[in-house]
Amino acid sequence: MNVTLGVPRIKEIIDGAKNIKTPIITTVLECDNNAMIARMVAGRIGSTNLGQVAKSIGILMTPRQACIVIKLDMVMIRDAQLSIDVDVVKESILKVPRIKLKHENIQVPDNETLEVYSPDKDRRRLYFELYRLKSILPNVTVRGITTVQRVVIDESDVKKDKEDVQVKGADVVGKKYRLFAEGKGLLAVMSTEGVDGCKTTSNDIIEVQQTLGIEAARISIIEEIKYTMKQHGMNIDDRHMMLLADAMTSRGQVLGMTRFGLQKMDKSVLMGASFERTDDHLFNACVKGAVDKIEGVSESIIMGIPMPIGTGMFKVKHILPTT
C-alpha cells in the first residue's frame, strides 16, 4: 500500500484538498475470518475491466458480417469469485457513455461469447469504427465501483488471548481480513453486501464529510494527523489537533487553510487582506460596507492596539475621578 505520508500528507489534510494522492477506504468485513468471502467482497468492490476478464477480443470479418467477438474467460472469473456473466457484461458495455451502441447491436450467442456490431451503417467507415470500439472495450468496467481502482486484501494475525492458556500450539489463533480499496466512493463501498458499513472509513476527509457529516470529518482530521505523525514516531497532544480541526470545521464545511478557505472562514477584512489577495478582500469589503471589529491578532497589529490574547485578554476597569 502506498499511502502518502509526511509533509505532503499534512499539507493535503490542512489544505482540505479535494483530490488527494492516495485515497484509501478501509473496509471492515462482516465476516472477517474467511479468505474466500474476503475475495468475493473484494471482487464486488474493486472495478474489473473487460480486458481483465476476457480471453480474447477480436475483430471478425466475414463476407456477410463484421463484428467484434468477445470471449470471456469463465475459469478465471470463477477463481476470482467474481459473479460476472455475459448479461452483466452486455449491460455494462451499454452503460458506457458515448459509446452509441444499442441493445440490438450486442448479441449473445452463448454463455461465453458476445458479438458487438457497429451501429454505423456506412460501409466505408465500418473498419475504423470496429477498431475504435476495439480500443474502447478493454477498459469498460464490468463489475465493481468505478471510482475504486483496486482492492487489496489485508491479512493480519489474531493473537490468542492471554487468558486462554488452554489452547496449545501456535500463538496465532486465526487470521483477520480487511480490505483496502484505493479510490473514492465511500458511500458505495459502505453499502456493498458483506461490508460492515458502520466501521468502514476513508482517509479522504472531504469524502467523509460528504458521506458521514461534519462532525465525522472533524474526528477524521484529528485521526489522520495523528496517524501521519505516528508513522514518523511523533506524538502530539490531542488538543493541538483538536484546535486545528475545530477551526477548519466550525463553519459547517471543511475549509482548508488556504486563501480560499480563509476567505470563507473569516469575518475580518484586514486579516484576510494581510494574508493573500489583498485587493480582492478590500474591494469586496468595500462593496458590502463591511465592518471590521478589531478582534484578531493581525488587525490589532495593523491598528496598533494591544492584541487580545494571552496577557492582553483582560483589561482593567478604571474608575475615573469625577472632577
Interface residues with another protein (CB under 8 A) are: 128, 131, 282-283, 286, 297, 301-313
Min CB(127)–another protein separation in Å: 9
C-alpha cell at 47: 472495478
CA-wise closest residue to 45 among 140, 148, 129, 135: 148
168 vs 288, beta carbon nearer another protein: 288
The values of phi and psi at residue 57, to 5°, are -130, 115
Min CB(123)–another protein separation in Å: 15
- C-beta atoms surrounding 261 within 10 Å: 19
Min CB(318)–another protein separation in Å: 9
Sequence-separated (6 or more) residues with CB below 8 Å from residue 29 = 37, 38, 41, 177, 178, 179, 194, 195, 196
The values of phi and psi at residue 127, to 5°, are -60, -45
Min CB(61)–another protein separation in Å: 14
109 vs 306, beta carbon nearer another protein: 306
Min CB(313)–another protein separation in Å: 8
167 vs 303, beta carbon nearer another protein: 303
Min CB(322)–another protein separation in Å: 15
* CA–CA gap between residue 124 and residue 308 (Å, rounded): 79
35 vs 303, beta carbon nearer another protein: 303
Amino acid at 209: Q
- The residues facing 117 across adjacent strands are 67
Cβ-in-10-Å burial (0-12, 13-18, 19+) of 97 comes to exposed
Min CB(311)–another protein separation in Å: 5
57 vs 206, beta carbon nearer another protein: 57
Min CB(249)–another protein separation in Å: 22
97 vs 304, beta carbon nearer another protein: 304
130 vs 188, beta carbon nearer another protein: 130
Angle value at C-alpha 133, between 131 and 139, nearest 5 degrees? 120
2 vs 311, beta carbon nearer another protein: 311
